[in-house]
Structure 1
Amino acid sequence: MRGRWLLWALLGGVVGVLCYGTLVVFTSRRPLPRQSKVGAVIDLIARSYVDTVPIKNLEEKAIELMVGRLDPHSTYIPAKDARAYNEPLEGGFEGIGITFNMQTDTLLVLNTIDGGPSEKVGILSGDRIVRVDGIDVAGVKFPQDSLMRILRGPRGSQVRVEVARIGVKDPMLFTIVRDKIPINSVEVAYMVDSLTGYMHLIRFSQTTPQEFTSSVSRLAASGMQQMIIDLRGNGGGVMEAATFLSEFFLPKGAQVMYTQGAASPRRDYIAQQDGLLRNIPLAVLIDDASASASEIFAGAIQDNDRGFIVGRRSFGKGLVQEQFTFSDGSLLQLTVARYYTPSGRSIQRPYQLGNDSLYYVDYLSRYQRGEFMHRDSVRVDSLNRYVTRGGRTVYGGGGIVPDIFVPVDTTKITPYYRAILRHNLPFRFAVHFVDEHRVEMEGLGDMESVRTYFENSKVLESFVNYASQRGVPIARKDYQISKNLIEAAVYSNIARFVWGNKGMYPF
C-alpha cells in the first residue's frame, strides 16, 4: 500500500512539473471544426480570449510571417501602402504634376510634367513652393512624405500654392486643379546620330506599350535605322509589357518565353505577327539592376539571336507574381510560376525559402570577386547550358550574361570627384546657375548650341570656384583626370532644369 502511494506521489510530481504555469479546464475541451489552423486560432482568440485584442493586427502579422517564409519576391502589401505600390505599375497617380527636390528645407520644382496641371497654370522649374493651402512648408522642416500627401489628391480637386520665384519680388499664388499624372516608362527617346535611335526604359507598366509605340514612331520619323534600348537600372514590372515589346523585334511564330508552376500549367508566349522592327539592328543595355521584365525582353532577344546584349550580368529574377486583392484593399503578390526564355532556361538565381538576407546582397559577392570589372570572373553553371536559335551557348541560373561585356570604369573616379558628389555640388550649382541664366538658355535651339553656350560661359570654371567656396577646393591633378565626369555631371544637371530628361541625357 505504501508503495502504491509512493508511485502516485511520484506521478503527481511529474504531472506538476509538466503543468507548472498552466491552468487547463479539461472539462471544457471542444473539438475544432475542420478549417485552416491559422483561421481557427484567430477565430478562437476573437471569441474566447480573456482580453479584447486587435484581431486585424494579429491577422496582418500572421500573413506577413507566412509570406515571409516563401520566396524573396512573394510579398504582402497592407491597404495603406497598396495605392503607392501599384502606381508605378499602373503608370500614373493623381496630383499636380511636378518633380521636386527638398533644397535647404524648401520645395524646389525640378520640372513640370508636359501638359500637366502645374505647367498649365504657369509653374516653372526653379520655383520654390513656400505655402500649400495656407500651410507653411518652407523653412519649417516639413516632412517630405507629408508634403507629398497634401500636394496629391483626387482628380478635379483644387490646391492653392504660393511660389517664390527668382526675379519676382512678391510670392505668386496659383490655384492648381489636380489631374491624372503619368509615371512614364520611357524616360527619354532621341536620336544619338543620324541613324541611331536611343530609348531608356526605366520600368515596365500598363502604359509601356503605348509609350513605346509613340516613341518608336517619332524616332522612325527622324530617320532611325538602328536602335539602342537601355534597360540599365530597370527592375521590371508588368510581364505583358515585356512580351509586347519583344514581339516588335521578332518574326511571326518566334517564342518570347513560357511560364510554368506547380499549380500553373505551361503557357507559351509566341509572336503573333511579324514585328515592325524585326529587321532593325538592335543593342540592349543591361546591368546588375536589370531584373524581371527586363530579363524577359533581354532573354527573348538573346535566345532568338535577334540583337546584342551589352553590359554586365543582370539581376536574375525568373519568378512570376500574381496580384490578389483583399476586401480591405490590401494586396498579396504571390509567386505562381517561373518563366523560361525561348531556349528553355530559367535565369532565377538561387534562394532559400524564408531567407532573404543573402539573396539581396548577392551583388556584393559579385563585386568582391571582380565580376563588375572582368568578364572571366562571371560565374556560370556549366551544367545549366542551353543553345540559342542560332546555335550559340547560353547559361541559366543567375541572370542574363551579356554577349558584349562592359566593365565598370573606375579609372576617372578621384577623391576630388567623390567629394563634389558627396556634397551634391553639381545639383546645387545647377540651381544657382539656372536662377541667373534661365531666360537666355531657353532661347537655345539644340544641344550643340547648348554645349557651345556652356563652353563660352566658362561654366566649368564657375563650378570649380563655386565648389571651392563650399569647402571643396580644387585638386588640379584629380580635376584633369575626372574632368569629363565633372563636365557631364554639371552640364546634365543644368540642362535637366531647363529641358527635362531630353536635355540631361545627351551629356
Structure 2
Amino acid sequence: MRRFTLVGAGVVLGAALMLVATQPRFSPASIANAASASTDVYRQLNLFGDVFERIRSDYVDQPDDAKLVEAAIKSMLTSLDPHSEYLPPDKQRDMNVKTRGEFGGLGIQVLMENGAVKVVSPIEGTPAQKAGVLSGDVITAVDGKSLEGVTLDEAVDRLRGPINTPVTLTIKRANAEKPLEFKIVRDRIVIPSVHWRAEGDVGYIKVNEFTENTNDGLKNAIDELSKDIPKDKLKGYIIDLRNNPGGLFDQSIMVADDFLDRGEIVSTRGRDPDKIQRFNARSGDLTGGKPIIVLVNGGSASASEIVAGALQDHRRATILGTRSFGKGSVQTIIPLGSNGAIRLTTARYYTPSGRSIQAKGIEPDIEVVQDVPDNLKDKVEVKGEATRAGHLKAEDGKEQLAPSQAYVPEDPKQDKQLNTALELLRGLQANKNFPPNPETPVPN
C-alpha cells in the first residue's frame, strides 16, 4: 500500500515535478490560447493592484498593508469551497498540534465558563494530575499574569509551551480560603485518538479523529482486547466513528487496511480525471476475519467516511447508524515558509466501487436513530456538506440536503445504536444486512 499524507510539502512538490516531467508539447494554437488567458489574468491582477493602492492612499485611517494582503488571500481561498483556507502561522501551528496528537503542556482539559478558565479534568499521568490540579479548579493566572478578559485560545497558548519548561498556575478552588499556586514542569502530552473497552464478549473501539498516532492506537486496542477477551469467546468488533470529523488521509488508509486482506481502499482524482491515484490493501486482517460493525452518524466526516466506505464496499463490515456528513474531498497543506500555509482542495476521493460520497454521505446498511431527550431534539441534527455555501457539487447532481442525526448518549445503556450492534454480534437480534452479504449491491 502506498503511503499518502495531506500534511507536508513532499506531496505538492512531487506532484508538481511529475507534471513538469510529463508536460506535452504545445501546438501554436494552444500557445496562443494560453497567452490570451495570461493576458486576462494580468489584467485582473492590475485591477487588484489599483484597488489596493487606492485603499492605501484614500482610506479614512492608515490601513495595515499586511492585513490587507492577508484578507485578500483569505477571501480568495474561501471563495473556492468551505475547506480551502489560508492558515496564518499561529493557526498552522494549532493544526500541526492537532494532527500530531501531541504537544508540550500540562495535561488539562479546560473550558471557558462565565468568563473564567475552568479545569474540566486533568489527564491521567500528566504533570497537572501529578501536581494535584483537580476538576473544577479555576485558573486565574499563569506565571503571575491574570487570565481575566482573555479568550480560551489565548489561555491555552499560555498553558502550552516547550517540554521541560516550568509554569506557575494560580488556582481558585472551591472551599479553599485563598488562591493556590502550582509550579509545574511541562511535558510531552499525547492525546489518544483511540479508546477501547471490552463489552463482555465484544471488542469496542472508539476512534475520535485521525491523527498521526491513530493507526498505532488501533493496533494497540486490538492487541489489548485480544488479551481481555478469549479468542473462542470473542463475537466481533464495534468500530465507533460517530462524530469523528476526520483528519489525516494516510491514517484512514492504514486503519481500513487493518481490516482488509486485499483490494482497493480508496482512489483520488484531481482536476485531470484521467490521473487517478489508487491505494490498495496489503494482506493481513488484524482481527482474523471476526465480524465488524461500524457506527456512523451525521458527525462522521472525511477520513472516517473513507474507512466506512471501504469496509462497506468490500462487505467487510456492516455500517450502522445514520447517514454520514458527506465530505468527499481531499485537502493538501501547502507550506508558505514563515507566512503559514494554505489548505487547498486538490482532489475528490472515491470508495472502492467508484462512489463519490461528496455532498451525499454514506448511507448505513442498517439505519438506527437514537432516542433523544426533548431538550436536545433541535440540537442534534447536523446539516451535511450539501448545505454548506460554495461546496463542491455531487458529480451525479443527487445531493443529500436533509440533516442527519449526530447524537450519542453519555450513558451506554441509553445508546440505541451501540446496543443494537451488540445484539447483532451476539445473535440476539437478526437483520438481513448482518453479516454483510457479498452479493448485495453497494448503496448509491
> TM-score when scaled to structure 2?
0.68
Q: What corresponds to 2:168 in structure 1?
A: 160
Residues 335 and 191 of structure 1, relative CA distance in 2, 3 Å threshold: same
Query: Which secondary structure state, in structure 1, belongs to the residue aligned with residue 339 of structure 2?
Result: coil
Residues 222 and 287, structure 2, Cα contact 8 Å, conserved in 1: no
Residues 116 and 138, structure 2, Cα contact 8 Å, conserved in 1: yes
Q: What corresponds to 1:290 in structure 2?
A: 300
Residue 217 (structure 1) shift: 1.5
User: Aligned partner of 1:277: which letter?
Assistant: T
Q: What corresponds to 2:203 in structure 1?
A: 197
Residues 134 and 69 of structure 1, relative CA distance in 2, 3 Å threshold: closer
Distance in 2, Cα, partners of 1:127 & 1:48? 52
Moved more, 87-96 or 289-298: 87-96
Query: Is 1:260–2:266 an aligned residue pair?
Result: no
Query: Is 1:408–2:408 an aligned residue pair?
Result: no
In our comparison, the structure showing a higher alpha carbon Rg is: 1
Distance in 2, Cα, partners of 1:179 & 1:120? 12
Any residues of structure 2 matched to 1:198-217 within 5 Å, and which? 198-217=204-223
Distance in 2, Cα, partners of 1:165 & 1:61? 43
Residues 319 and 488 of structure 1, relative CA distance in 2, 3 Å threshold: closer
Residue 318 (structure 1) shift: 0.9
Query: Which secondary structure state, in structure 1, belongs to the residue aligned with residue 161 of structure 2?
Result: coil
Match of 2:340 among 330, 334, 340: 330
User: Aligned partner of 1:406: which letter?
Assistant: V
If each structure's helix is expressed as a fraction of its own residues, which one has the higher value?
1
Q: What corresponds to 1:309 in structure 2?
A: 319
Match of 1:318 among 328, 337, 340: 328
Residues 258 and 339, structure 1, Cα contact 8 Å, conserved in 2: yes
Please report the RMSD computed on the Cα atoms of aligned residues, expressed in angstroms: 3.3
Residue 54 (structure 1) shift: 3.9
Query: Is 1:177–2:185 an aligned residue pair?
Result: yes
Structure 2, gaps ≥5 residues long: 1-37, 380-407, 416-444
Residues 177 and 33 of structure 1, relative CA distance in 2, 3 Å threshold: farther
Residue 229 (structure 1) shift: 0.9
CA deviation vs aligned residue, 1:103-126 (integer Å, no higher than 9, x gap): 555443222223322123332334
Residues 250 and 278, structure 1, Cα contact 8 Å, conserved in 2: no
Distance in 1, Cα, partners of 2:344 & 2:140? 43
Residues 270 and 285 of structure 1, relative CA distance in 2, 3 Å threshold: same
Q: What corresponds to 1:65 in structure 2?
A: 75
Query: Which secondary structure state, in structure 2, belongs to the residue aligned with residue 258 of structure 1?
Result: strand
Residue 77 (structure 1) shift: 2.0
CA deviation vs aligned residue, 1:148-167 (integer Å, no higher than 9, x gap): 23212222221111334557
Moved more, 284-293 or 114-123: 114-123
User: Aligned partner of 1:94: which letter?
Assistant: G
Match of 1:150 among 139, 142, 158: 158
Distance in 2, Cα, partners of 1:105 & 1:146? 13
Residues 198 and 134 of structure 1, relative CA distance in 2, 3 Å threshold: same
Query: Is 1:78–2:88 an aligned residue pair?
Result: yes
Moved more, 162-171 or 81-90: 162-171
Query: Which secondary structure state, in structure 1, belongs to the residue aligned with residue 327 of structure 2?
Result: coil
Q: What corresponds to 1:135 in structure 2?
A: 145
Residues 260 and 282, structure 2, Cα contact 8 Å, conserved in 1: no
Residues 80 and 39 of structure 1, relative CA distance in 2, 3 Å threshold: farther
Query: Which secondary structure state, in structure 2, belongs to the residue aligned with residue 328 of structure 1?
Result: helix
Q: What corresponds to 1:91 in structure 2?
A: 101
User: Aligned partner of 1:246: which letter?
Assistant: A
User: Aligned partner of 1:262: which letter?
Assistant: R
Residues 270 and 276, structure 2, Cα contact 8 Å, conserved in 1: yes
Identity over aligned pairs, percent = 35
CA deviation vs aligned residue, 1:277-311 (integer Å, no higher than 9, x gap): 25011000000111110110000110000011000
Residue 84 (structure 1) shift: 1.8
Distance in 1, Cα, partners of 2:193 & 2:345? 24
Residues 228 and 49 of structure 1, relative CA distance in 2, 3 Å threshold: closer
Residues 134 and 299 of structure 1, relative CA distance in 2, 3 Å threshold: same
Distance in 1, Cα, partners of 2:250 & 2:156? 30
Query: Which secondary structure state, in structure 2, belongs to the residue aligned with residue 218 of structure 1?
Result: helix
Query: Which secondary structure state, in structure 2, belongs to the residue aligned with residue 240 of structure 1?
Result: helix
Residues 275 and 58 of structure 1, relative CA distance in 2, 3 Å threshold: same
Distance in 2, Cα, partners of 1:180 & 1:101? 21
CA deviation vs aligned residue, 1:35-61 (integer Å, no higher than 9, x gap): 855655666788999838644333222
Structure number with higher relative contact order (C-alpha < 8 Å, ≥ 6 residues apart): 2
Distance in 1, Cα, partners of 2:410 & 2:239? 25
Any residues of structure 2 matched to 1:340-419 within 5 Å, and which? 340-349=350-359, 398-410=360-372, 413-414=373-374
Residue 33 (structure 1) shift: 9.4
User: Aligned partner of 1:223: which letter?
Assistant: I
Number of residue pairs matched by the alignment:
339
Distance in 2, Cα, partners of 1:267 & 1:134? 54
Q: What corresponds to 1:223 in structure 2?
A: 229
Residues 298 and 325, structure 2, Cα contact 8 Å, conserved in 1: yes
Residues 268 and 142 of structure 1, relative CA distance in 2, 3 Å threshold: closer
Residues 129 and 161, structure 1, Cα contact 8 Å, conserved in 2: yes
Distance in 2, Cα, partners of 1:487 & 1:96? 26
Match of 1:117 among 127, 130, 151: 127
Query: Which secondary structure state, in structure 1, belongs to the residue aligned with residue 284 of structure 2?
Result: coil
Residue 141 (structure 1) shift: 5.6
